[in-house]
Amino acid sequence: MTRYVLWRLLQGVITVWFIATVTFFVMHNLPGDPLADDKAVSEKIRANLEEKLGLDKPVVEQYFIYMRNMIQGDFGLSFVHENRRVNEIIRDHFPVSAILGILAIVIAGFGGILWGALTALYRNRWPDIVIILLVILGISVPSFVFATVGQLVLVTMNNLAGFEVLPVAGWGTVAHMLIPALVLGLGTMAFLTRLMRTSMLEIVSSDFVRTAKAKGVPMAQIFSRHQLRNAVLPVVTVLGPSIAGITTGGFVVENVFGIPGLGRYFVLAVQQNDYGVIMGTTVFYGAFLVLMVILVDILYAVIDPRVRLE
């Protein structure tokens, strides 16, 4: 077990290094000038800016400098937010994205498992048909539509109620989190529902369910102990990447609801050619994703005794 975890962690470090290297060189070949702005500046000032940000050195040298700093945990300066360190940006904004992400994944996970189990239970009857219709909607409608519609619903609700039922935008209390987390988790929830349904139906016709029935185990017990527990496995598998996807994919929701998360920085940095923030957030999210996948693999062994961590 310990050896397995250590081995996976080493693999993870190599993966993160690979991500960092590829991002670094791709980023430096991106079209667009990171230092260009509305007002043109003289050659002298430009040279000074390049020197300050280390852009005057050859790219390979910049790479080694960056790697050395990164190993020491220093992601350098943001190009756009001139006086802020990328470390500070991640420290300030990642917790917000994480909170939103955790809530979204909990909604998606629980919702997906429950709805999935329910559809399997009532296969081809009206609860199944209604939920599957909603699932198709949830998978195919992009999150910015959900976000906009969600906010409009809030506006209408607050105006009809005459007082603030839930805030329209902003961040800081439980009330601010509910709708954005729901909107963020909706797509994943729909996806997990479908996954859960398929997996449940597969298990209904498996040998061990038949055996359990044959020896007279009560149906409710078969359902919860044999079917549900086994059917949940594939859901757990995709949960890891989903967590990372949701935490990083919050850009649209953060934008519409005015939430100070890291997703906004992650996306805007690419448009603004903010090398410091592009590198910092990509490496950070890369490491986060790798860690989540490792965690899920370990969790897998806990849920399914057949899996041995070797």
Partner 1 sequence: MTDTTQGAAEPVSVSSAWQLAKYGLVGLLFFVLLLAMLGWVTSYSAAGTRSTQAVDYATNTITLALSTEPPQLDSTRATDMVSGMLLGHTMEGLLRYGPDNELVPGMAESWDMDENGGTFHLRNDAYWSNGTPVTAHDFVFAWQTALNPDTASQYAFILFPIKNATGINEGEIEPGELGAKAVDDHTLEIELEQPTAYFLKLLAFPTYYPINEEFYRSTDGGYGAEAHTLIYNGPFKITKWVHDASLRLEKNELYWNRDQTRLDAIDYAYILSDANATLNLFATNKIVYAGLNSENLDRALRNRWHIKQHNDGSVFFLEINHRPDRITSNYNLRRALQLVHNPSELVYKVLKLPGNLPGESIFPVWLNGVEGRFRDEYPGPKYIINEEKAREHLAMAIEELGVDELPPLVLLSGDNPVSNKQSEYYQRLWKEKLGIEVKIDKQIFKLRLEKMTTGEFDIVAAGWGPDYHDVMTFGDLFASWNLNNRGRYANAEVDRHVAIAQSSSDPVERMEAMDRVQQLLHDDVAILVQYERGSVYVSDDRVKGVTRRAVGLDPDYTRAYIASDSED
Q: For the stretch 110-139, what's the b/e string if a residue is b when 16 or more beta carbons lie within 10 angstroms of its beta carbon?
A: ebbbebbbbbbeeeeeeebeebbeebeebe
Q: How far is the CB of 152 from partner 1 (least distance, A)?
A: 7
Q: According to CB under 8 A, which one of 27, 55, 67, 118 is a site residue for partner 1?
A: 118
Residue 228 token pair: 């549900």
DSSP string, 5-44: HHHHHHHHHHHHHHHHHHHHHHHHTSSS-TT--SS---HH
Q: According to CB under 8 A, which one of 143, 273, 281, 282 is a site residue for partner 1?
A: 273
Q: How far is the CB of 306 from partner 1 (least distance, A)?
A: 23
Residue 146 token pair: 């959900």
Contact flags string 70-89 toward partner 1, x per CB under 8 A: ----------xxxxx----x
Cα(158)–Cα(166) distance, integer angstroms: 7
The smaller minimum CB distance to partner 1, of residues 222 and 290, is found at 222
Q: According to CB under 8 A, which one of 90, 96, 277, 283 is a site residue for partner 1?
A: 96
Q: According to CB under 8 A, which one of 70, 76, 138, 176 is a site residue for partner 1?
A: 176
Would you say 94 and 102 are in contact if contact means Cβ atoms under 8 Å apart?
no
Sign of the Cα torsion 38, 41, 46, 52 reads negative
Contact flags string 21-60 toward partner 1, x per CB under 8 A: ----------xxxx-xxxxxxx-xxx-xx--x--------
Interface with partner 1 by CB under 8 A: which range of 6-14, 18-26, 211-219, 276-284? 211-219
Cα(184)–Cα(120) distance, integer angstroms: 25
Q: According to CB under 8 A, which one of 167, 180, 187, 276 is a site residue for partner 1?
A: 167
> Does 198 contact partner 1 by CB under 8 A?
no
> Does 106 contact partner 1 by CB under 8 A?
yes
